């Protein structure tokens, strides 16, 4: 079998080299396991098909429709996890976020600032996205405000409950000196149940900085159970300005992915039409993955067959689900 695969490798390599002569010197040849960048395969390669019938693992191509990792340096954890399982992943940013003011405090950020420095008027804080935490950080960029925050304001908040969804959001909250609760809840629905288990209707309003696009699951669940919210929109969500261009370039250069992962209902809304158009008849061959149940629901509502949904919204759990779906 090994000798046969080596023979096939040699044969495919000669095809790639021959294709270079056919297409001209301007078309650089990729490594043996790929294609020249000017060539887009419409069907799985012969080598992939042979490997699928053997015990060898196959490097599959996964497209991640998500924002780059929040803060820090180094490779995106989702790309890293998929690489550890033998798959090649590419990340295309889907969303852009505009804070209500980048240079001066607008009415919205000023309102947030005032409420942040009056913790006695609230029963706690809720963060369901990293951007909401970034808005708080913007409010604290002034040296005097930072000093006051570190001196006593953050301790007054820590005497209350600071609720979060997701590890990325929890990490940013910790960077503010706050102690998060609920990072493993994964969704706003599960977080709302945690809040209701811990709080009662007599609690002061919970301060909830959020974006222009938010699901009403958490506010509705709390309101129906008598828990008050002070909701404040501090950033706006829109499609990334280069989204369609980046998708077109990616499909042209890499072909149709073996798997595509969505990370939010907004991502489904902004990407799906373009993905359908670029995939054509191969759409049904793609293994679609979701970061969690909320995103999976949005995908199903659009008629997509969801091959896997991460048990938890982490790189490890999503990569494991995708790897299993691609077997």
Q: Please list, residue by residue across 46-85, b when 16 or more beta carbons sit within 10 angstroms of its beta carbon and e when fewer do.
A: ebeebbeeeeeebbbbbbbbbbebbeeeeebbbbebbeeb
- Please state, in angstroms and rounded to a whole number, the distance separating the CA atoms of residues 7 and 79: 32
Provide the pLDDT for residue 100: 63
Burial of 44 (0-12, 13-18, 19+ CB in 10 A): middle
- Helices 243-254/265-279 angle, 10° precision: 40
Of 327, 248, 319, residue with least CA distance to 62? 319
Which residues have a Cβ under 8 Å from the Cβ of 192 and sit 6 or more positions away? Answer: 217, 218, 221, 222
Q: What is the pLDDT of residues 8-43, one digit of tens each?
A: 344 334 433 333 333 333 333 333 233 333 333 333
pLDDT one-digit tens code per residue, 175-230: 999 999 999 887 888 999 999 999 988 899 999 999 887 778 899 999 999 999 99
pTM for this predicted structure? 0.66
pLDDT of residue 276: 97
Chunked into runs of 10 residues, the chain (327 residues) has average pLDDT values of 41 38 35 33 37 51 89 80 96 87 56 89 95 90 91 96 92 96 89 94 93 86 94 89 97 97 95 97 97 94 96 93 96
Token output for 57? 């693992």
Identify the burial level of 168 via C-beta atoms within 10 angstroms of its C-beta, where 0-12 means exposed, 13-18 middle and 19 or more buried: buried
């Amino acid at each position: 079998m090994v000798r046969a695969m080596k023979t096939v490798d040699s044969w495919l390599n000669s095809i790639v080299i021959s294709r270079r002569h056919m297409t001209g010197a301007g078309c650089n040849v990729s490594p043996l396991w790929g294609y020249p960048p000017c060539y887009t395969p419409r069907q799985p390669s012969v080598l992939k098909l042979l490997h699928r019938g053997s015990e060898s693992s196959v490097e599959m191509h996964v497209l991640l429709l998500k924002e780059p990792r929040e803060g820090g340096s180094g490779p995106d954890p989702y790309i890293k996890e998929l690489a550890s399982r033998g798959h090649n992943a590419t990340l295309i940013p889907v969303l852009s976020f505009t804070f209500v003011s980048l240079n001066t405090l607008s009415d919205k950020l000023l309102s947030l600032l005032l409420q942040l420095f009056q913790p006695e008027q609230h029963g706690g804080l809720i963060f369901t996205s990293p951007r909401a935490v970034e808005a708080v950080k913007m409010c604290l960029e002034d040296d005097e405000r930072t000093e006051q925050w570190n001196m006593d304001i953050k301790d007054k908040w820590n005497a209350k409950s600071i609720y979060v969804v997701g590890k990325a959001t929890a990490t940013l909250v910790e960077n503010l000196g706050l102690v998060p609760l609920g990072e493993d809840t994964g969704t706003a629905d599960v977080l709302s149940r945690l809040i209701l288990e811990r709080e009662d209707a007599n609690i002061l309003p919970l301060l909830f900085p959020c974006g222009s696009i938010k699901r009403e699951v958490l506010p509705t669940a709390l309101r129906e159970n008598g828990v008050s919210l002070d909701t404040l929109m501090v950033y706006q969500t829109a499609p990334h300005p280069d989204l369609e261009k980046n998708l077109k370039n990616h499909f042209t250069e890499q072909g149709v992915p073996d798997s595509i992962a969505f990370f939010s209902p907004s991502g489904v809304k902004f990407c799906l039409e373009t993905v359908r158009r670029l995939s054509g008849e191969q759409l049904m061959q793609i293994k679609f993955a979701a970061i969690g149940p909320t995103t999976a629901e949005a995908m199903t509502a659009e008629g997509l067959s969801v091959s896997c949904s991460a048990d938890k919204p982490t790189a490890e759990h999503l990569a494991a689900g995708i790897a299993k779906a691609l077997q």
